[in-house]
Structure 1
Amino acid sequence: MFKQLFSTMNDVLEEIAGRYPLAEGHERKDLEDQLAMLKSMSDVCIEEWLLFEEKMGKLVYTGKPQPEVPACVATLMPAAVQDEEANESFARGQGYYKLYMFTQAVEEFEKLVRQQPDFLLARIYLAMGYLRLGEYGEAYRHFQFLLPLTDNSKIRAITYNAMGCIHAQNQNMDKAYEYFKMAYRSDPTCVDAAFQLVGWTKRQ
């Protein structure tokens, strides 16, 4: 079905390309309208494909939906973006992350933090990418790097959360609980995703 659709779209595009250079008046306007329609169809196909890939990635990666980076991360964006180039690189990495393409996300964020070591939000995504890939040592190293660089309560909560998750994955439950408590003290609004990540039940 899709092969036939794109074959037809390509045929129409080739016809437009052949006629457009010599077209004038109403004919040129008609060709421009057809071109705009093709562009709209292409945009819809790409958008739907990205949505499908995101849903598929959630199932293919581990067989069940995975939690996202805590929602409170979004509030850090305005202070984190340093310049246009960094913004574009961050957007690419974040896009990979949202599509559960964690290897590509890590590669993008590694380049970014090498260029801007104090871009803390990029380092959070880098560390979370390593965490999703199961590379707990690398993830832990980047989270440790974050702590002395910021007094931001949300960043510290996210970091303590993730470090607690890593300890829980390694069956160091007392240490995990200690980090979860520190996360909660730092910012209670940023802890739920981490508890879900390891199926942790908060102790009273």
Structure 2
Amino acid sequence: MKIEDWFQTLRRKAEIIEEKWSDASEQERHQMADQLFHLRQVSDTVVDLWLQFEERLSNAIRTIKQLEGHLSEQQKEKPEMKAKASADAVTKAKVSLQKQEAVKDETEAAHSELNGYAPMFRKGEGFYHLRMYQDAKKCFAELVSESPDWEVGRLYYGFSLLFCEEPETAYREFRLLSKSASSPSVVAFSYNAMGCILAEEEQWLEAAQAFKASVEIKEDQFEAKYNLALCFLMDGYAQEALDEIEAYLVKNEHDWEAQMLWLRAAQLLQSMDESAELIPPASLRLPTRDLDSDTLQEMASLYESVGNYHRAQVCYHFLTERLPKEGWTWHGLAWNTWLIAGTRRALTLVKKAICLSPNNDDFTFSYGWMLLFDGKLEEAVRAFRSMLEKDRENRLGQSGMISAYEKMGELQEAKRIAKQFTVDEEPYVRSLGYFHLGRLAVIEENWRLAEQYFQRTLPHSNQFREIPIYLQLCAIKLGEQGEEESSSQLLQP
């Protein structure tokens, strides 16, 4: 049978039910409701399969266009936006749980409890799975009023309320079930649903308590384990998030959303405590080609933050294979290659990144920075000035020129530019200006002034890892000066 004929048959079945409904008896309507429910299941399956096919087809077309160089700049998704989209997906994917699944798991048990309410239950269930939630709510409200102790009926009622955008009323139903239901599954599902409602309101602490209760009641409630880890992360408890998501990954090691959550929690912990020892789960211990691109990008970022440049380099190597037309993959590979092996091996890679994204200032700056530290001052200055010709206030280009003037011994010119940073509206830029001025004061051996400048960078000290070393150096030098002054005072008559 052709696919067009098959769909025509399905459409005809729906039309016949619609035509006969008004004149049908109650029993016939129940039968037709079952048929509609079956057609809805078929429709959902077809839609799911079509979405999978459409996604695969779009990816294939996009990849081929990239390989052939036919994708315009406007069509290319910037890596920052991709990272942000990934972050949003991690935040929302499992907090907004598949609430229908919780109900389906209990359906069989429900039939044994129905007794005389079977027709009303089937009607409500049909409406629910047809996504006619207002009608489902009315049916289950009637059932609950007739049989208030019927747990699964009340669970359906709670989810119907939730889909009708009545979270407060739904929350009350789930809270009642969490306190009174005899079925551990119903209690666990209720706590999980309560956690979802609270999380959508960003009440992370209360949501975490609900998810924790769900897991304690039903250990295999993996969605609640994931959600608990997510709440810890959103509330800033990095270590707790890592503990929970690692337990989740034991049973779900290939869940890319969970892998991303672990990486984000690890980055947060690293930013809070640089001495923290991080041992990734088995699925993240070594970068492999099988990992999702977003996961590889997150892994590379994590490895860079802890100074493991070799593994970051491997991540970017896999990304360049998968996304050869994306400049950011080559830039990441170039930067980590430079940190490992120096300018000669990295320069070709960063040039490729610039060719793919000629307007990306980060790439041009990296090119100039590599040349600067290789002693090629004239070429480095040309790179930085090319950025300033397009935008004289470009902070990256100015920062490069500060370092170039420092190398050339033109400290007054370097200080002139750095002082412009200290009046910028952006706090990080102001800190960068004080950092530059502190380094210039160190060159001039003005230790007290250097210490004052470095102190002003402390709100962003995690961005400047050298700050503790510089402050320690300043303290040593000032201490030595203090001792010299004391000795000279003792020698005076």
Q: Is the 8 A contact 2:208 2:231 kept in 1?
A: no
| C-alpha distance 98-135 of structure 1, shift in aligned 2 (>3 A) | same
Partner of 2:187: 156
Q: Is the 8 A contact 1:130 1:139 kept in 2?
A: yes
1:51-66 alignment, distance < 5 Å? 51=41, 54=44
Partner of 1:74: 107
Which secondary structure does the structure 1 equivalent of 2:190 belong to?
helix
The answer on 1:83 being equivalent to 2:96 is no
Partner of 1:93: 124
Moved more, 48-57 or 86-95: 48-57
Aligned length: 160
Larger Rg computed on CA atoms: 2
1:1-204 alignment, distance < 5 Å? 49-51=39-41, 54=44, 67=98, 68-70=100-102, 71-74=104-107, 76-79=109-112, 81-84=113-116, 86-192=117-223, 200=230, 203=241, 204=244
User: How far 1:52 sits from its partner (Å)?
Assistant: 5.5
Which secondary structure does the structure 2 equivalent of 1:189 belong to?
coil
Following the alignment from structure 2 to structure 1, what is the Cα–Cα distance between the partners of residues 197 and 226? 13
Q: Is the 8 A contact 2:194 2:207 kept in 1?
A: yes
Following the alignment from structure 1 to structure 2, what is the Cα–Cα distance between the partners of residues 112 and 52? 28
| C-alpha distance 164-185 of structure 1, shift in aligned 2 (>3 A) | same
User: How far 1:188 sits from its partner (Å)?
Assistant: 2.6
Following the alignment from structure 1 to structure 2, what is the Cα–Cα distance between the partners of residues 196 and 94? 28
| C-alpha distance 136-105 of structure 1, shift in aligned 2 (>3 A) | same
Which secondary structure does the structure 2 equivalent of 1:188 belong to?
coil
| C-alpha distance 55-133 of structure 1, shift in aligned 2 (>3 A) | farther
Following the alignment from structure 1 to structure 2, what is the Cα–Cα distance between the partners of residues 158 and 133? 18
Following the alignment from structure 2 to structure 1, what is the Cα–Cα distance between the partners of residues 36 and 182? 40
Q: Is the 8 A contact 2:140 2:154 kept in 1?
A: yes
RMSD: 3.8
1:169-189 CA distances to partner (integer Å, 9 max, x unpaired)?
A: 111011111110110111133
Gaps of at least 5 residues in structure 2 are: 17-31, 49-96, 233-240, 245-493
Which secondary structure does the structure 2 equivalent of 1:83 belong to?
helix
| C-alpha distance 46-82 of structure 1, shift in aligned 2 (>3 A) | closer
User: How far 1:57 sits from its partner (Å)?
Assistant: 9.3
Following the alignment from structure 1 to structure 2, what is the Cα–Cα distance between the partners of residues 82 and 46? 21
Partner of 1:23: none
User: How far 1:161 sits from its partner (Å)?
Assistant: 0.4
Following the alignment from structure 1 to structure 2, what is the Cα–Cα distance between the partners of residues 114 and 184? 30
1:144-191 CA distances to partner (integer Å, 9 max, x unpaired)?
A: 222332232111101100110110011101111111011011113345
Q: Is the 8 A contact 1:54 1:99 kept in 2?
A: no
Following the alignment from structure 1 to structure 2, what is the Cα–Cα distance between the partners of residues 156 and 132? 19
User: How far 1:196 sits from its partner (Å)?
Assistant: 8.2
Following the alignment from structure 2 to structure 1, what is the Cα–Cα distance between the partners of residues 193 and 183? 16
Q: What is the TM-score with the length of structure 2 in the denominator?
A: 0.28
Q: Is the 8 A contact 1:167 1:176 kept in 2?
A: yes
User: How far 1:125 sits from its partner (Å)?
Assistant: 0.4
User: How far 1:101 sits from its partner (Å)?
Assistant: 1.3
| C-alpha distance 48-88 of structure 1, shift in aligned 2 (>3 A) | closer
Q: Which protein has greater RCO, CA pairs closer than 8 Å, 6+ apart?
A: 1
Following the alignment from structure 2 to structure 1, what is the Cα–Cα distance between the partners of residues 130 and 225? 22
Following the alignment from structure 1 to structure 2, what is the Cα–Cα distance between the partners of residues 147 and 184? 13
Q: Is the 8 A contact 2:37 2:130 kept in 1?
A: no
| C-alpha distance 166-56 of structure 1, shift in aligned 2 (>3 A) | farther
Following the alignment from structure 1 to structure 2, what is the Cα–Cα distance between the partners of residues 73 and 103? 21
Q: Is the 8 A contact 2:123 2:139 kept in 1?
A: yes
Following the alignment from structure 1 to structure 2, what is the Cα–Cα distance between the partners of residues 171 and 72? 28
The list of structure 1 runs, each at least 4 consecutive aligned residues, that deviate by more than 4 angstroms after superposition, is: 45-49, 52-58, 194-197
The letter for the 1-side match of 2:170 is A
| C-alpha distance 53-88 of structure 1, shift in aligned 2 (>3 A) | same
Following the alignment from structure 2 to structure 1, what is the Cα–Cα distance between the partners of residues 150 and 193? 18
User: How far 1:56 sits from its partner (Å)?
Assistant: 8.9
| C-alpha distance 191-104 of structure 1, shift in aligned 2 (>3 A) | farther
1:90-143 CA distances to partner (integer Å, 9 max, x unpaired)?
A: 111111111111111111101111111111111000001111222100101111
Following the alignment from structure 1 to structure 2, what is the Cα–Cα distance between the partners of residues 178 and 101? 32
